[in-house]
């Protein structure tokens, strides 16, 4: 096994594991803001109990997200030193900007969000929560921006230096708004919102199945349901579709691999479910005639380029790209179906509480949503191969030249063990927290909610009880 | 002052920010097993840093990002050259996070003591690794013509680097102890107070050794000081901070002592940075291969964009960080959502 192969394995492993957590930081953050607003409007204590419960889950998720995120930032330097030199001027600035603008916001206000329930009044607590949720989205914005530059580089020039060729900035605004950036960030945000809503649906459905915390669980389920169905419809028909359109224009060979298109085809069909046979250059499955041409180019007669129109050494790994993509879109369709079903059953005579298989389906939803999200990133990243920066730098040329295979094998081993332990502990503790459920307000509240400082002035004059850590 | 110089200063400021901010919570971790004897005291220890440690770690991420953006060649050489050490840093960082988050989630005594130990060892480990890495930066590393190094692990563990590693542990423990003296009460506070003079003495002795070893064994770090003797004001100020901090501790004015201890950390880091200037990584192979703030930097347009970003962003960061610390001021009291 070569250093390149091992470094790719390590990056794929650590990035996939890391990306379990950020969608929850964004999506659950948004849902916590929703719950906070409902509490302010209704003053019904069950919403406050919900906030106390979910904030604890959020803290756990956030901490693991940060810890595994540091790994990602360091790996560019440790394993991809040639890449780091090549893109430092551009990619580095976006990472630094993420730190300055977004990450401090999240990290700084997280403490107020996690420990603010008994120190701040509901409005100030909600404000802290909203800032953390905003920070999580803002953070993703910079990261997706940096990744979009790798997919569709713009605003750069390549110049020789004493240490090889490097990409230099010619226009910061073109670097920020590369052709793929806007469609991709909308796609990523929407998927995160789906994950957040799905997590609430899963846990609430579980409580209903177990006949516990019924008032809180049912209210929580009915709050998350409309968000889930709306986001899943928007994702499938609008943001996901727009993303495919963008790939069709900017990375046609990636699209060909995603859809298993071998020859140039006009009125190209879209394979809804299928398998790809690389040896015989054939794609089997259920196909909808002309749909791919329509989705990619808004014209049923448009020609979709096939893989054979591109040099073989620019093909991404076809099977991985094809299947990751299909896992994602198939789940995307399933989400719309279960979203509509759930909405119907939950709001039409509240039938859902009696239908146990439907509730179990919702318990499963969070795992499906996470799977779809990771599959999406696999599509984007495997589909970009063999390039690390699209058509500018190959992944094989990007690795650090001073690494030997055993070192990377050792670190891969370390991450496998560490992340396995981390994941088991995470699931174990999450389960324990969920089993325990939302506490009663008497357990959570030290001081009556009305005596907490709830304006800037109160907080900074120390009125209404002094803040404690 | 050129953009490269500005970014050198800013980078040192950000590293100092990391050492000061995350430094005290690392210090709390280093002292965890020594000052806190029972579950309640350990919880108070953890909760003294509870609302802020995650935010403090952001300084490390920022330092990494700024090094990547402003001096990409150094980022690439340093991180790939110190591969094993970097992986260890990541390992202890993750273990420390996990320990803080998971400790309180179960009430079993064994569960909690195990995570207490992980928290303490990981905090030691981070301080030691940072110090050893810094020691190697001071002595230089085997950078070749292509700007890469192939160091062996044993060579990284020179006595000089280890000395700086141990000194870093003492420095952060001291910083953490002074922080804890503002946050704790009762028996725990009494124990913390007993540790402060000991740590001051240990740190003072170790740091004197570091200065002596640097001047005697690595004379390249004194070149800038010999050329511009007035620069000695920076290490002198750091020394003054230690002495005044000592006086403040004796008068039990812990907040002032904490500010002075932070100033001392910044002063020491700047003293070293002056010694290194304009090098970021000195080559032990040939000084022609040194990576400096000029040959390893990004182009002026990138540095300008970054400067604008920093000027817009950093005032907000300082403002709301200050606000958060203000809200959580005062001694720790455990509540239902504490760790």
Looking at beta carbons, which residues of chain B come within 8 Å of A77?
64, 68, 75-76, 78-80, 86
Do the chains contact at B72 and A414, CB–CB below 8 Å? no
Do the chains contact at A93 and B101, CB–CB below 8 Å? no
Please state the rounded mean pLDDT for residues B126-140: 92
ipTM: 0.90
Which residue in B83, B100, B309 is closest to A100 by CB distance?
B309
Q: Does A3 touch chain B (CB under 8 A)?
A: no
Please state the rounded mean pLDDT for residues B239-255: 90
Do the chains contact at B68 and A169, CB–CB below 8 Å? no
Q: How confident is the model at residue A465 (pLDDT cuts 50, 70, 90)?
A: very low
Tokens of A130: 């909203």
Do the chains contact at A118 and B337, CB–CB below 8 Å? yes
pLDDT at A137: 96
Mapping DSSP to helix (H, G, I), strand (E, B) and coil, where does residue A315 land? coil
Chosen from B76, B305, B307 to mutate, greatest number of chain A CBs within 10 A: B76
Q: Does A89 touch chain B (CB under 8 A)?
A: yes
Tokens of B81: 């050259």
Do the chains contact at B70 and A96, CB–CB below 8 Å? yes
pLDDT at A363: 93
Chosen from A64, A108, A449 to mutate, greatest number of chain B CBs within 10 A: A108
Looking at beta carbons, which residues of chain B come within 8 Å of A101?
309, 313
Q: Which residues contact B190 (CB under 8 A, 6 or more apart)?
A: none
CA A375 to CA A368: how far, in whole Å? 10
| A383 phi, psi to nearest 5 deg | -65, -20
pLDDT in tens, B198-238: 999 999 999 999 999 988 888 788 888 889 999 999 999 99
The model carries a pTM of 0.92
Strand partners of residue A286 = A273
Inform me whether the pLDDT recorded for A337 exceeds 50.
yes
pLDDT at B333: 77
Which residue matches tokens 């511009």? B228
Distances (CA, A) of A355 to A218, A287, A342, B11: 14, 34, 11, 59
**Percent of chain A residues past pLDDT 70, beyond the cut:** 97
pLDDT at A461: 66
As a three-state string, the secondary structure of B222-276 is: HHHHHHCHHHHHHHHHHHHHHHHHHHHHHCCCHHHHHHHHHHHHHHHHHHHHHHH
Which residue in A56, A68, A108 is closest to B320 by CB distance?
A108
Which residue in A85, A98, A112 is closest to B72 by CB distance?
A85
CA B119 to CA B123: how far, in whole Å? 6
Indicate the length of chain B as a whole number: 339
Strand partners of residue A265 = A304
**Sign of the alpha-carbon dihedral angle for A15, A16, A21, A25:** positive
Instruction: Looking at the complex, report in whole angstroms how far the Cα of residue B208 sits from the nearest Cα belonging to chain A.
Output: 33
pLDDT at B1: 66
CA A133 to CA B56: how far, in whole Å? 18
Do the chains contact at B328 and A403, CB–CB below 8 Å? no
pLDDT in tens, A191-212: 999 999 999 999 999 999 988 8
pLDDT at A468: 43
A22-42 and A356-382 helices cross at what angle (nearest 10)? 130
Radius of gyration of chain A (CA): 24
Q: Taking CA B44 as the corner, what is the angle to CA B39 and CA B50, rounded to the nearest 5 degrees?
A: 120
pLDDT in tens, B98-119: 899 888 888 888 999 999 999 9
Do the chains contact at B105 and A432, CB–CB below 8 Å? yes
Please state the rounded mean pLDDT for residues A80-84: 95
CA A220 to CA A205: how far, in whole Å? 9
pLDDT, chain A, mean: 90
Do the chains contact at B62 and A103, CB–CB below 8 Å? yes
Looking at beta carbons, which residues of chain A come within 8 Å of B87?
78, 410-411, 414
pLDDT, chain B, mean: 90
pLDDT in tens, A399-428: 999 998 999 999 999 999 999 999 998 888
Do the chains contact at A469 and B47, CB–CB below 8 Å? yes
pLDDT in tens, B153-187: 777 888 999 999 999 999 999 999 999 999 888 88
pLDDT at B266: 95
pLDDT at A462: 56
Looking at beta carbons, which residues of chain A come within 8 Å of B64?
70, 73-74, 77, 95
Higher pLDDT, A99 or A439: A99
Nearest CA in chain A to B145: A163
Contact A128, B104 (CB under 8 A): no
pLDDT at A469: 41
Do the chains contact at B57 and A70, CB–CB below 8 Å? yes
Contact A289, A265 (CB under 8 A): no
Q: Does A418 touch chain B (CB under 8 A)?
A: yes
Contact A220, A200 (CB under 8 A): yes
pLDDT in tens, A4-60: 999 999 999 999 999 999 999 999 999 999 999 999 999 888 899 899 999 989 988
pLDDT at A139: 94
Inform me whether the pLDDT recorded for A88 exceeds 50.
yes
pLDDT at A308: 93
Do the chains contact at B298 and A73, CB–CB below 8 Å? no
Least Cα distance to A264 among A307, A298, A317 occurs for A307
Q: What is the DSSP string of A138-202?
A: HHHHHHHHHHHHHHS--SEEEEEETTEEEEEES-HHHHHT-TTHHHHHHHHHHHHHHHHHHHHHH
pLDDT at A467: 44
Which residue in B51, B61, B338 is closest to A112 by CB distance?
B51
Contact A352, A345 (CB under 8 A): yes
Inform me whether the pLDDT recorded for B131 exceeds 70.
yes
Inform me whether the pLDDT recorded for A85 exceeds 60.
yes
Q: Does A52 touch chain B (CB under 8 A)?
A: yes
Do the chains contact at A432 and B310, CB–CB below 8 Å? no
Instruction: Looking at the complex, report in whole angstroms how far the Cα of residue B212 sits from the nearest Cα belonging to chain A.
Output: 33
Please state the rounded mean pLDDT for residues B66-93: 93
pLDDT in tens, B1-57: 699 999 999 999 999 999 999 999 999 999 999 998 888 889 988 988 988 888 888
Max Cα–Cα distance, chain A, nearest Å: 75
pLDDT in tens, A264-279: 988 888 999 999 988 8
pLDDT in tens, A344-399: 888 887 778 888 888 999 999 999 999 999 999 999 999 999 999 999 999 999 99
Which residue matches tokens 């329930």? A117
Inform me whether the pLDDT recorded for B280 exceeds 70.
yes
Q: How confident is the model at residue B284 (pLDDT cuts 50, 70, 90)?
A: confident
């Amino acid at each position: 096994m070569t250093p390149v192969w091992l470094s790719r394995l390590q990056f794929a492993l650590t990035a996939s594991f890391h990306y379990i957590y950020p969608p929850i930081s964004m999506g659950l953050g948004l849902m916590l803001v929703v719950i906070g607003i409902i509490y302010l409007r209704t003053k019904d204590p069950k919403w406050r109990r919900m906030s106390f419960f979910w904030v604890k889950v959020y803290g756990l998720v956030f901490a693991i997200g940060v810890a595994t995120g540091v790994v990602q930032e360091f790996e560019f330097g440790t394993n991809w030193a040639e890449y780091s030199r090549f893109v430092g001027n551009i990619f580095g600035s976006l990472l630094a900007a993420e730190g300055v603008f977004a990450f401090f916001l999240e990290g700084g206000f997280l403490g107020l969000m996690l420990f603010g329930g008994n120190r701040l009044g509901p409005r100030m607590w909600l404000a802290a929560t909203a800032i953390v949720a905003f920070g999580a989205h803002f953070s993703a914005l910079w990261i997706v921006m940096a990744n979009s530059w790798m997919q569709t580089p713009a605003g750069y020039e390549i110049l020789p230096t004493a240490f090889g060729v490097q990409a230099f900035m010619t226009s910061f605004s073109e670097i920020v708004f590369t052709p793929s950036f806007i469609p991709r960030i909308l796609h990523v945000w929407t998927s995160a919102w789906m994950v957040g809503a799905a997590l609430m649906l899963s846990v609430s459905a579980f409580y209903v199945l177990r006949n516990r915390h019924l008032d809180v669980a049912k209210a929580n389920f009915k709050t998350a349901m409309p968000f889930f169905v709306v986001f899943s419809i928007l994702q499938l028909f609008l943001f996901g579709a727009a993303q495919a359109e963008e790939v069709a224009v900017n990375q046609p060979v990636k699209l060909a691999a995603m859809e298993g298109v071998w020859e140039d085809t006009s009125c190209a069909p879209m394979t809804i479910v299928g398998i790809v046979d690389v040896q015989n250059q054939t794609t089997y499955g259920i196909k909808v005639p002309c749909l791919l041409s329509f989705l990619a180019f808004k014209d049923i007669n448009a020609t979709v380029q096939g893989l054979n129109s591109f040099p073989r050494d620019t093909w991404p790994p076809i099977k991985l790209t094809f299947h990751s993509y299909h896992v994602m879109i198939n789940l995307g369709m399933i989400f719309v179906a279960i979203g509509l079903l759930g909405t119907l059953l939950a709001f039409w005579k509240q039938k859902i509480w009696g239908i146990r298989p439907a509730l179990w389906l919702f318990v499963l939803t969070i795992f499906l949503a996470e799977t779809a999200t990771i599959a999406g990133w696999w599509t984007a990243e495997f589909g970009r191969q063999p390039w690390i920066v699209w058509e500018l730098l190959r992944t094989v040329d990007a690795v650090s030249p001073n690494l030997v295979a055993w070192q990377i094998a050792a670190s891969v081993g370390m991450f496998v063990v560490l992340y396995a332990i981390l994941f088991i502990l995470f699931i174990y503790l999450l389960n324990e927290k969920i089993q325990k459920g939302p506490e009663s307000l008497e357990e959570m509240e030290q001081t009556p909610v009305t005596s907490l400082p709830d304006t800037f002035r109160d907080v900074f004059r120390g009125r209404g009880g002094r803040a404690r850590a | 002052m050129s953009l490269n110089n500005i970014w050198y200063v800013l980078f040192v400021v950000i590293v100092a920010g990391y050492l000061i901010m995350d430094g005290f919570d690392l210090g709390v971790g280093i002292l965890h097993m020594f000052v806190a004897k029972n579950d309640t005291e350990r919880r108070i220890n953890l909760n003294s840093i509870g609302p802020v440690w995650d935010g403090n770690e952001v300084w490390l991420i920022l330092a990494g990002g700024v090094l990547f953006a402003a001096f990409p060649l150094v980022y690439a050489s340093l991180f790939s050259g110190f591969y094993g050490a970097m992986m260890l840093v990541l390992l202890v960082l993750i273990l420390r996070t996990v320990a803080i988050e998971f400790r309180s989630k179960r009430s079993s005594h064994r569960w909690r003591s195990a995570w207490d130990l992980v928290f303490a060892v990981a905090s030691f480990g981070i301080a030691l690794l940072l110090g050893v890495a810094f020691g190697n930066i001071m002595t230089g590393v085997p950078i070749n013509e292509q700007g890469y190094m192939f160091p062996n692990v044993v060579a990284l563990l020179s006595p000089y680097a280890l000395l700086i590693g141990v000194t870093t542990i003492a420095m952060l423990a001291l910083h953490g102890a002074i922080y804890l003296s503002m946050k704790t009460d009762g028996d725990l506070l009494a124990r913390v107070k007993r540790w402060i003079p000991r740590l001051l003495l240990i740190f003072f002795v170790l740091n004197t050794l570091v200065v002596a070893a640097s001047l005697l064994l690595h004379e390249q770090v004194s070149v800038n000081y010999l050329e511009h003797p007035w620069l000695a004001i920076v290490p002198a100020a750091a020394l003054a901070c230690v002495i005044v901090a000592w006086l403040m501790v004796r008068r039990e004015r812990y907040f002032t002592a904490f500010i002075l201890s932070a100033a001392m950390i910044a002063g020491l880091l700047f003293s070293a940075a002056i010694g290194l200037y304009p090098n970021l990584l000195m080559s032990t192979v040939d000084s022609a291969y040194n990576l400096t703030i000029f040959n390893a930097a990004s182009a002026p347009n990138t540095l300008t964009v970054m400067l604008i970003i920093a000027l817009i962003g950093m005032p907000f960061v300082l403002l709301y960080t200050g606000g958060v610390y203000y809200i959580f001021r005062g001694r720790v009291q455990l509540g239902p959502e504490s760790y």
